[in-house]
Structure 1
């Protein structure tokens, strides 16, 4: 990469894959690069003192991981706040007001803006009950369903409602990736007590994408004790997952049973009428006049994922704003063509596999690609090669080139992993969970 800005854009893309849309939009998207000095120190500019403090406290580990993945070496990060704009205090209180009244900076993640239908009505009602009576309704509340159907929206809506009615509550909202990264960082820096205080003093804990806990033994141990502490103290826990707890194969049984202590609510893909309503609502929020036939065309062709529906509407709005092209069936056909034909490029898939295996085995992605031969890294490398072969169908030669190993090494690694999986049920379940997480 030729410039610091190109590196930063790649870092942002990496972070976007590992955070919720709301977190990315509010904290990561607007980061600017100031300088890159002494070969390993990068200075980043945040839009306010408030946002700078949040990013420094919560997302430094993720940013460092991203820079390491992009550059191949560790960096130190310094932060500065942008000069306040007119009407904004130097401490960034405008941002603080926004976050307090509108969770994660997303104005639309509220119960009022959640489009209800038969596929999500039960989960919606359960979320409302929890928000109205934290710890007194269902604890824990476990919401599950495929990616892109509104789980994150409901978690944010719960957060918004509780914060509005109980401004003194300590609410912690985190995705499982960040919880895992913070656990690893706390272990490495001997700061476990601060880490535990953060989570075990919460009045409400909301955690997204819990399926990524699978196979991560140290993280599961910490979450188990965090869960017990909060539940025993009568604190509210809300969990979201892309699958039921019983289908997270390498999740410890003691956690699986605890997730099922309260209420489990699923979200299914929306029916046609709900999809039309979602499309029209997204268009309304963008002040885009969308004809009924266009809304129905989108709803008929994009059936599984609400994010795809929103993306189609945004693309039509871009056509209108940038080129003055009114929404019509012909334009819509072009707008959703890429989505209908979407398939994840193999290089992206490989990186997802590499990162997920690295987190599961608690090693660095660079170590898996590198020459280290200790037992844990070697096992992670064999698992990575095996899953790449299973998921992408790449040839042994191509996998060898990816890891700078010869063909015989790849053959041996994959054969060894196959044999280990066949005789070790726990390893088989771990492998299954990793592949499911990669395909999410």
Structure 2
């Protein structure tokens, strides 16, 4: 059969499958699993391009290949095999290629042969797992969207060419937005590419502090310094923890300079912009600021929908489009909350399916009502506000709730009171009860003070907006 005939049959098969899935209210599922590009055919074997190796393996496990083969046989009577190649694969050996390209038949054959060789080798080779990295955090399981596309592309570039222009990278933003996922994806990619023959460290700033403190008490500081100053890849999570810890900051400064000099790959995450960190030495702030800084924003509707579809694919589950649309439209905070919502719905469906029932949109709405309601300001606790503000200004939680009137404590307390009044439905009296029993007039004075300042102080205004964003993300 000629290539043109095969290509037409392939196109018609996918069109019929799309119509079938649409009729069954499963069009989102079709868009996720059958987003394939015809490349070529040879001796009753069609080669198609898929987005990633993860998608290729998942299609095999889910039986989607058999679905296509059966549809082709139904239309043409031909029994064919289907091979896949990866759109964004670098196996074509073309320098720094990040986009699938096969404009003529020789290119197609070259890419196809290279991929076939690479694939057979990969099937025989184990995945090299770093003991501190979670192997579920891969680029294949990350969903890029408008809110995080630059972060995704920069992370991919850093992983493919570590220690070059994409080092250091600083990913910052609220909780549950994908910072750690991308950081660990970089680590997993590099460690596996180097077959484990690389000095890589991934840990939180708090863990680094614990290790540093232990080295001081056990008099093994030289060993600690030698370990971290000779890394090939340094992944440090939650650097906001460094605030106010001068000795650790000094050590991180020297680690940074040593690794920068040897062109090691460095990646950091933080819950806010570097400019908003308190109690950080200027020289260390400058080091963090000199790299690539990327603001991770909450996902938009389209990205939230794509995330839900990917999560369902990973769990090998199907939920109707109307439920997916409802969750994507109503859970706006972060990826973690989206995961929680879809798991709750799937868990309930697994329970009721034994009775022969299926989950409906109305049931899903009832299941998720509490979680959706928590997106409204009235469900934000004053305690959550106090904790975020105290952390931002590097003071204790007990101090912000207490009665000390030093400037270092009083001003953050004013800010917390202002935010509490702005984003909750609590009265001044109710807010006062959470700040040591202070009365209505005291609360109003604090509120008016900050309300007046932000009209002329852009830095304070931006800081408060950043804190409110974090509070809502952490709900």
Q: Which category of TM-score, normalised to the shorter sequence, fits these structures?
A: 0.5 to 0.7
Superposed displacement of residue 380, structure 1: 6.1
Indicate the residue corresponding to 1:165 in structure 2.
Answer: 193
Match of 1:306 among 326, 330, 335: 335
Map Cα deviations across residues 60-91 of structure 1 (whole Å, 9 max, x no partner). xxxxxxxxxxxxxxxxxxxxxxxxxxxxxxxx
User: Judging changes above 3 Å, is the alpha-carbon distance between structure 1 residues 170 and 407 closer, same or farther for their aligned structure 2 residues?
Assistant: farther
- Structure 1 position 334 matched with structure 2 position 362: no
Indicate the residue corresponding to 2:284 in structure 1.
Answer: 255
Match of 1:226 among 255, 258, 261: 255
Indicate the residue corresponding to 2:61 in structure 1.
Answer: none
TM-score, length basis structure 2: 0.55
User: Judging changes above 3 Å, is the alpha-carbon distance between structure 1 residues 101 and 305 closer, same or farther for their aligned structure 2 residues?
Assistant: same
Match of 2:156 among 114, 120, 128: 128
Map Cα deviations across residues 179-204 of structure 1 (whole Å, 9 max, x no partner). 58538956995869279535434332
Superposed displacement of residue 242, structure 1: 4.3
Greater C-alpha radius of gyration: 2
Contact 1:126 1:265 in 2 (8 A): no
Indicate the residue corresponding to 2:324 in structure 1.
Answer: 295
Contact 2:133 2:187 in 1 (8 A): no
Correspondence list, 1:50-129, <5 A: 101=129, 106-129=134-157
Match of 2:417 among 373, 380, 389: 389
> Which stretch of the first structure deviates more once superposed, 292-301 or 385-394?
385-394
SS in 1 for 2:182: helix
Match of 1:321 among 339, 350, 355: 350
* Distance in structure 2 (CA, Å) of the matches to 1:241 and 1:274: 22
User: Judging changes above 3 Å, is the alpha-carbon distance between structure 1 residues 220 and 405 closer, same or farther for their aligned structure 2 residues?
Assistant: farther
Map Cα deviations across residues 403-423 of structure 1 (whole Å, 9 max, x no partner). 767769x88x979x98xx99x
Unaligned runs of 5+ in 1: 1-97
TM-score, length basis structure 1: 0.58
- Structure 1 position 350 matched with structure 2 position 383: yes
Match of 1:203 among 191, 210, 232: 232
* Distance in structure 2 (CA, Å) of the matches to 1:193 and 1:205: 18
> Which stretch of the first structure deviates more once superposed, 352-361 or 287-296?
352-361
* Distance in structure 2 (CA, Å) of the matches to 1:121 and 1:144: 14
SS in 1 for 2:139: coil
CA RMSD of aligned residues (A): 4.9
* Distance in structure 1 (CA, Å) of the matches to 2:230 and 2:389: 29
User: Judging changes above 3 Å, is the alpha-carbon distance between structure 1 residues 402 and 304 closer, same or farther for their aligned structure 2 residues?
Assistant: closer
Match of 2:176 among 140, 148, 165: 148
Superposed displacement of residue 314, structure 1: 0.5
SS in 2 for 1:327: coil
